[in-house]
Structures are given as structure tokens and as C-alpha cells.
Structure 1
Amino acid sequence: MSAEKVNLDQFIDNAKFTPFHWVVLLWCLLIIIFDGYDLAIYGVALPLLMEQWDLTAQQAGWLASSALFGMMFGAIGFGSLSDKLGRKKTIMLCVFLFAGFTFLGAFADNPLQFAVLRFIAGLGIGGVMPNVVALTTEFAPKRMKSTLVAIMFSGYAIGGMASALLGKALVPVYGWQIVFMLAGIPILLMPVIWAMLPESLFYLKRKGRDDEAKKIITKIDPSYANKDFEIEPIAVQVEDSAPLKALFQQGRTTSTIMFWVAFFMCLLMVYALASWLPKLMIGAGYSLGASMLFLFALNIGGMIGAIGGGILADKFHIKPVLVSMFTIGAVSLVLLGFNSPAPVLYTLIAIAGAATIGSQILLYTFVSQYYPSTVRSTGMGFASGVGRIGAIVGPVLTGTLLGLQLSHQMNFMAIAIPGVIAAVAIFMVNMKNANG
């Protein structure tokens, strides 16, 4: 009797959600929580750093950009590397970089040392994102891929909130260094992460490590422990053996460029709002306290948008969901430029958060589902890297707009324009060439 043949794509797509999937989801979620924490703590430490090192606002801005530049290079470099080195090793390397060098940031003696350490930490912060998304996508059953990736990625907002709460409680007592020291905790967890996190089945099969892949298959579906089975070879197009070139072959060129445009515009909006929303609302006559609550509403909306959008994407399709979210977000941003009652304003800001932060997370999901496993991390890495350019441009561009003394309505209309462009870009993605 011949051995049963297992097609990896079909096996994963049709699998039941088991404790194995919980392990993958929860550990990837934990990594993203720490990743989000490490990115957000600069904002917590900023006022004290400016005072300690006598920094101007411009110098503080460049110090913030050091991590963002690192994230850009990390997303591109480690996204491509993992298609060759494997998801697991690359994730571990990124965790070491972002946790270790953020921890060392507590001991920086001057702005230059701090900027170098933040750049290296940024490499890990940016590099881990496409890889945990790829790993979660590759193990998630088809009917819930978008939902699981959205839940996992919502850890970013949890990490950001944790940094704010810990900063408020600990920084006045122990100084800004304490939040950077706490960032080193993942270093202690690395042996456990290594033991708990599985390697990509597709990577193992491509490398001829079938025995390891079979062990993972039996964990996903224990009934295979008593079966004689073989894993079918992965169908790889010749062009896909060169991951970067493959992004522009087999009819993917337009879609790849459109993904890059959408990422750039989305992250431009995310970082423009995250950096300047309180200042914009203060300029419109609201108090500082109310403006901080607007920022909280933005992040809550982002979490709701990510998870809700993921559920809708699994029920319908991710492309029309993203187009709708970007369009609705652009409308809400335009409406924010007009005076409205407080409940309406909070609602509009939450919608804007859902359409920017939430859409950013769904964009990762869309890209991860669009490209075949052989080039998945490369595709996400380059899209994320281009997006990081938008993240750098967003706060600078918004600051320039504020310097022009434009009206409140014009400021928000300017921030809404990238949402319209992102919606058009996603609409132009060609699904005929999706996933090989």
C-alpha cells in the first residue's frame, strides 16, 4: 500500500484550529507586544531625554528617526534573509537585536550613542514584523488567516499601551532608563521562544528536512501519527528561486508597486496622526487632556479596526475590505476638520484609527496571502521597508504643514489624501496573479 501524499497548502488551509495553532499565535503575539513596546518607549522617555541632553525639538526628531531608519533597513534585509535562513532563526536574531540593544540604550552617555543603539534596535523591530506575519500566515487555516494575523498584530497596540502605563508608573521614581531596562526581558525568554516556536513547513520541505516537517504535521493533526505519509514537493516556479526578481514576474509587477504605494501612504497617515494629533487638536481649541484622550481613541480604533477588518476579510475578501476602510478613513479625516460635538469627534478619530492602524495590519495580511511561500517574507519585507519611508516622511510633512499656518480643515484634508491614494492602489492589485 503506497504512502498517503500530503499537500502542505491544502493540509494547512483545511486544518482544524488546534492547541498547536494557539502556541504559534500566542508566542508571535508576545513577540509583537515586546516589539511594539520597544518602539513606543522613546516617546515615554523623550521629555526627560530632551532635558538631560539639552536637545532641541529638531534634534529630538532626528533621534526618533534613528529607530525608523533601522526599521526600514531591517524590514527589507531580514524579510529577504528569512526566505533563505528560515523564519525561526531570523525571528530569534531580530528578538536579540531589538531587546538587547534597546536594553543597552539605558546606558547611553550621549545622543550619538543613543542614536546608534536605537538604529540597531530598529533593525530588529522592523525585521521581526514580516517574519512573524509570514509564520502566522503559513500555519493559519484558510478560513481564519486574516483574523489570526490581525489578532497577533494587535499586540503592537498592547505594547504601546504597556509602555505608556509602565512609563507613567516607573519613570518618575526610577528615571527614563527603567523602561529601556525592562525591554531586555525577551533576551531571558529566548530559550523558551526557540523551544516553542516552530519552523515554517514550507521552508523545511524546500530544505529537504521532511522528518522535521512530519513531526509538525502530527502536532497539527495527531491522526497523522499513525499514518504512513509523504509530503508532496512544493511547486516552485523557476522565477521564484530569486525572491526579489519574483516580485516583478508572473504578472506581479503592478500589484507589487501598488502594495508599496499603499504601505507608504498608510504608514504616512499612521505616523502623522500618532505624532501630531494632540497638537492638531490643541490648535483647534481643545485642551491638552482632551487631546491625549483623542490619541487613546485613535489606538483603540486601530485595534477594533484590525480585528474587525480581519473577521470581515475572512468572511468576504480582504481586498474590498481594505479599499472600503481606506475610503471611510479618508472621509472621517476630512470631517475631523470641522467642529463637532465630543462624541462625534471621538467616533471619527476611532474610525480614523481603524482605517490607518487597522489597515496597516490588514495590509501585512494581504501581502502575506498574495505572494507564494518562497518569496513571502521578501514581499512583505520590501513592502514594509517602503512603508517605513512613509513613516519617516509623515511626521516631517505634517510638521511642515503646521508651519504653513493652514486652516484646521486644510490640515486634516491633507492627511486624508494619502488614504484616497491607498484605496486606489489596493483597488488596482491584480488577484489573478495572487499566491503564484
Structure 2
Amino acid sequence: MDDDGRYRDGRSDFIRGAKDIAKVAKKQVGKKVGRGVDKMADEYVKRSYKRFEEEDDDDDYAGVPSNDGGYYRNDSRANDDEGHSDSTEGHDEDDEIYEGEYQGIPRGDSGKTGGMDGMAVAEAQQFRDLSAFEGEVRKDREELAQQYETILQECGHGKFQWTLYFVLGLALMADGVEIFVVGFVLPSAEKDMCLSEPNKGMLGLIVYLGMMVGAFVWGGLADRIGRRQTLLISLSINSVFAFFSSFVQGYSSFLFCRLASGVGIGGSIPIVFSYYSEFLAQEKRGEHLSWLCMFWMIGGIYASAMAWAIIPHYGWSFQMGSAYQFHSWRVFVLVCAFPSVAAISALSTMPESPRFYLENGKHDEAWMILKQVHDTNMRAKGYPERVFSVTTIKTVKQIDELVNMSDSAAWHEKWRLKLSSLFHQVWNNFQTVFSPEYRRTTYMMMAVWFSMSFSYYGLTVWFPDMIKYLQKQEYASRTKVFVKEKVEHVTFNFTLENQVHRQGQYFNDK
């Protein structure tokens, strides 16, 4: 056979081989939809396609007809060792191999491909897109973390961080105060509300139940709408229901108000630390976060001082009719809501976390805040002429770029999508801490926090009530009780201290 005949036969064999590869790849896609496209097969067909993609059809053939009416290659690249061939030219429609077929993806308008294969390919492609997107997000966050640390170094540490320190200290102090409220009011409130021992236990428990719910919800919300915004909402809920709890009369209403106040506390505590840490450089972070915890103790001192100054003063009470009674312990609950109001007012003047803006693709807003931090610190240090040199900051690729909703969609559909996205984000964050990477650390921290909370909060809630119980026991041990005693012609010239006389008789005719 002449050279032209061998060339045509070789090319036909190669075309058939390429079609076989495409068919096998299509079958693999259908089988792997549930867990994605097989990576090895995908890589193989990509390499096969790349070889054809690099060829230029116009340059491969010179258009010189052979004796038998065919075409032959007239340059040196047509040898078999180089492996070059025009597999997509010079064949009829049945032999046509389109670009996507080398990747195992059938044409949508092909009559040879069923509807189920099209759905399988779409799901497989979506899986590949999502996996690639998640990889890009991880890479973006790593780059952002490195660059953000460098930017904080340039901004310096000074007046801005110290201002934020005292503002967030007020927020943490407000939460510390609310933790101590129930413990101080229990001895006085049990008479006004006729509390039984189980009811007293529930009143001490309900605040921590609210904190648990709040910690679960507010953390995910802070990643969605911002640290500052979430902190303002949680502090507002705390202060509003703390205010209401000082006026409600029934036990059930008071219990509900303390539950809602606990939900607000549960959001404030973790967000305060994450919010402050995103304005601190690494070498200052641990030190200043430890100092911030000091305000929790200041809140306890404030609550103790107010309880000592207010609760024993029964003259501060007033009554409206026979139903409404406002005793001194309610004044104490009202005063304990003041730190939350002060924290809300101060926090309203502070900016959002720039790290949150960068994580959500808002470059300009983050740059303006970082410039504000830089300029505030430099002016306080006596360098007002120093210029913020950062011009571009890395932002994280957003998943919204893959999901588009038409502007004509109904408002309730948009809200449903937003709420669904928020719920999934909160749940995914919760699941992350139990992933194999963090599971061991999570369980260890849970054990540590459980032990600390069991001892610390247990004493905090019940310590005032235990002191009252011990005082009663001490008084009872020193008291003499006389029942049906008859005293005649006796003159008392001493005090009847620590004596209880029941059904007694006293007679003296002098």
C-alpha cells in the first residue's frame, strides 16, 4: 500500500479510537453522578483533548490533492512519531467528534444521547464547578489572612484600638451584670412571686438556656450580616427584655423575659472577642483579649455593689392598687440594664470589622475602615502626614457569583432564599467544629468549658440563696422555743433575745 493509503488508514483508526474513548468517558459520567466525575478518567480525556486543541487545522493540511483524490500532509510534522493528526477534518457527519465529546460530555442536540445522560452531565459539571469554587475560596482566605496581617502592622496599635477596647468592655460588662442578676434577686423575689424550690431552679436555669440558643444563632448571623450589626442587635434584645423583666408581675412573664435576655447575652459574649481580634495584630492579640476579660469581673463588681446598695432599702418600694407591687429588687434589675444601653450608644459610633467586609467581597468599605484606623493612630502618635499606602486588598470569591436570582422574582422568594442561605451557613459552621480536623479539639474544649461553667456559674446563681439559708440555720440553732409556758408574778429586766414563745401565758398583777 502506498504512503497515502497508510496515512488514511492510520487516521481512520485514530478517529475510531477517539470515539471509543469518548463513549467510555460518557458511561463513566453516568455512573459517577452521585459522587462526582472520576478524576483519573477526567484527567486522561483532558490530556487527549489538549493534544487535538493545540493543532491548527489550516496549517496541518496544505490542500494538495493526491492521485486518488485524497489529501496528504506536506510538512515534516506528518510523521507517526510526532502523533499529530487531523481527527476532526475530512469525515462525514456520522464520524464527527465535537469538542466536548473528548471530555465525555454529549451534545445537547444529539439524537444519540438520552435525557438522563444530559441530566447526569449537568450534575457532574455542577459538582466540578462547586469543588473548584471551594478550592478558590480556601486559597483566597489564605492569601487574605497573610495580607491582612501585614496591613494591620502598617495601621499600628494605638488610639483606635484603645477606644474600641473600652467600648467592647462596656458590652462585656453588660453581659457580666446580667449573669449575676438572678442570683441576687432570688432571695427577695421568691416572696413576691411565691416561688417554690423547682421554680427557683428553673429561674436560675432559664438564662443559661437562652445563652446556649443565642450562641448557636448569633455566631452564624455575625458571619452573614456583620460583627457590629449582630452585636448591636443582641445587646438591644438583652437591654429591652432586662427592662421589661423589672416591671412584669407574674412568674411566667418574668421567666420569659429572662430567657430572651439570655438569648441576647449568648450572642454578645463570643462576638465581642472576634470583633476586637480583627482589629489587633498578632503580637497584640492574646494580651489585649485577656485584658478585655477584665470587664466581665467589673460587671460582677457593679452588680454586687448595686445589689448591696439597693435591695436592702425597702423604703424604695411602692404599690399601685392591690395587684402591682414594685419592690427594691425590681429597681436593682432596672439599674442592671444601664450598661447595655451605654454599650449600644458607644458601639453605634464604631465601624464594622474590615475583615468581615473583605470576607464578603466588599473591598472599598474595608479599605475606608482600615484607612480610618491608620489615620487615627498616626495622628495620635504625632504623624498626621503619614499616608496609608495600601491600594488593593484581596477579597474572597463569593458564592453569590454562582447563584443569580432574577430581579423580577417575588420579594418573598428572595427572603426565602436569604433565610435558607443563612440557616445553611449557621448549620455548616456548627458542623465544621465536629469535622475530623477539629473534632478532638472541640471535645476537649467542651469538657473544659463544662467543668468551668459547672463550678463558676453554679456558685454564682445559688451563692446568695445559700448564704440566706445558712443564716437561717444559724439563727435557728441559737433560738430557744417555749411552747405553752405559763409565767406568773415575774418581772423581766432583761431582753428576750433569740427566744420564741408559742401559746404561752403571762400573768403579773403588780
Instruction: Tell me the TM-score range normalised by the shorter chain.
Output: 0.5 to 0.7
- State the distance in 2 between where 1:151 and 1:226 align: 29
- State the distance in 1 between where 2:149 and 2:368 align: 17
2:373 is aligned with 1:233? no
- State the distance in 2 between where 1:260 and 1:122 align: 20
Written as runs of structure 1 = structure 2, the 5 A alignment for 1:66-105 is: 66-105=206-245
2:156 is aligned with 1:24? no
Written as runs of structure 1 = structure 2, the 5 A alignment for 1:236-315 is: 242-249=428-435, 251-275=437-461
Written as runs of structure 1 = structure 2, the 5 A alignment for 1:197-216 is: 197-216=350-369
1:61 to 178, 183, 201: 201
2:331 to 153, 178, 183: 178
* Secondary structure class of the residue paired with 1:229: coil
Work out the percentage of aligned pairs sharing the same amino acid: 21
- State the distance in 1 between where 2:194 and 2:156 align: 57
Q: CA deviation digits over 1:304-335, x for unaligned, max 9? A: xxxxxxxxxxxxxxxxxxxxxxxxxxxxxxxx
- State the distance in 2 between where 1:263 and 1:48 align: 31
- State the distance in 2 between where 1:244 and 1:103 align: 32
Question: One-letter code of the match for 1:102?
Answer: A
Question: One-letter code of the match for 1:141?
Answer: A
2:373 is aligned with 1:220? yes
Q: CA deviation at 1:233?
A: 3.0
TM-score when normalising by structure 1: 0.58
Question: One-letter code of the match for 1:180?
Answer: V
**Structure 2 counterpart of 1:124:** 264
Change (3 A) 1:240 1:93: closer
Q: Is the 8 A contact 1:95 1:186 kept in 2?
A: no
Q: CA deviation at 1:169?
A: 1.0
Q: Which moved more, 1:29-38 or 1:194-203?
A: 194-203
- State the distance in 2 between where 1:228 and 1:126 align: 36
Q: CA deviation at 1:213?
A: 1.1
Change (3 A) 1:10 1:240: farther
Q: Which moved more, 1:54-63 or 1:109-118?
A: 54-63
Q: CA deviation at 1:257?
A: 2.2
**Structure 1 counterpart of 2:150:** 10
Q: CA deviation digits over 1:260-289, x for unaligned, max 9? A: 22222221122234356789999999x99x
Written as runs of structure 1 = structure 2, the 5 A alignment for 1:331-350 is: none
Larger-gyration structure (1/2) = 2
Question: One-letter code of the match for 1:213?
Answer: A
Question: One-letter code of the match for 2:389?
Answer: K
Q: Is the 8 A contact 1:38 1:99 kept in 2?
A: no
**Structure 2 counterpart of 1:314:** none
**Structure 1 counterpart of 2:4:** none
- State the distance in 2 between where 1:283 and 1:41 align: 19
* Secondary structure class of the residue paired with 1:196: coil
Question: One-letter code of the match for 2:357?
Answer: L
Q: CA deviation at 1:176?
A: 0.7
Q: Is the 8 A contact 1:12 1:138 kept in 2?
A: no
Change (3 A) 1:9 1:243: farther
Question: One-letter code of the match for 1:183?
Answer: C
**Structure 2 counterpart of 1:354:** none
Q: Is the 8 A contact 1:94 1:128 kept in 2?
A: yes
- State the distance in 1 between where 2:154 and 2:236 align: 34
Q: Is the 8 A contact 1:99 1:121 kept in 2?
A: yes
CA RMSD of aligned residues (A): 3.3
- State the distance in 2 between where 1:228 and 1:138 align: 17
* Secondary structure class of the residue paired with 1:107: coil
Q: Is the 8 A contact 1:201 1:213 kept in 2?
A: yes
Question: One-letter code of the match for 1:169?
Answer: A
Q: CA deviation digits over 1:1-28, x for unaligned, max 9? A: xxxx981133336753211101211111
1:114 to 251, 254, 271: 254
Q: Is the 8 A contact 1:13 1:143 kept in 2?
A: no
Change (3 A) 1:112 1:284: closer
- State the distance in 2 between where 1:247 and 1:78 align: 16
Question: One-letter code of the match for 2:391?
Answer: F
- State the distance in 1 between where 2:465 and 2:329 align: 23
Question: One-letter code of the match for 2:429?
Answer: P
Change (3 A) 1:280 1:36: closer
Q: Is the 8 A contact 2:149 2:282 kept in 1?
A: no
- State the distance in 2 between where 1:253 and 1:235 align: 27
5+ residue gaps, structure 2: 1-143, 317-327, 379-385, 400-423, 475-510
Change (3 A) 1:14 1:274: farther
- State the distance in 2 between where 1:86 and 1:120 align: 21
- State the distance in 2 between where 1:80 and 1:66 align: 22
Change (3 A) 1:145 1:80: same
Question: One-letter code of the match for 1:209?
Answer: K
- State the distance in 2 between where 1:221 and 1:153 align: 26
Which one has a larger percent helix, Structure 1 or Structure 2? 1
- State the distance in 1 between where 2:204 and 2:374 align: 46
* Secondary structure class of the residue paired with 1:198: coil
Question: One-letter code of the match for 1:7?
Answer: Q
Change (3 A) 1:281 1:41: closer
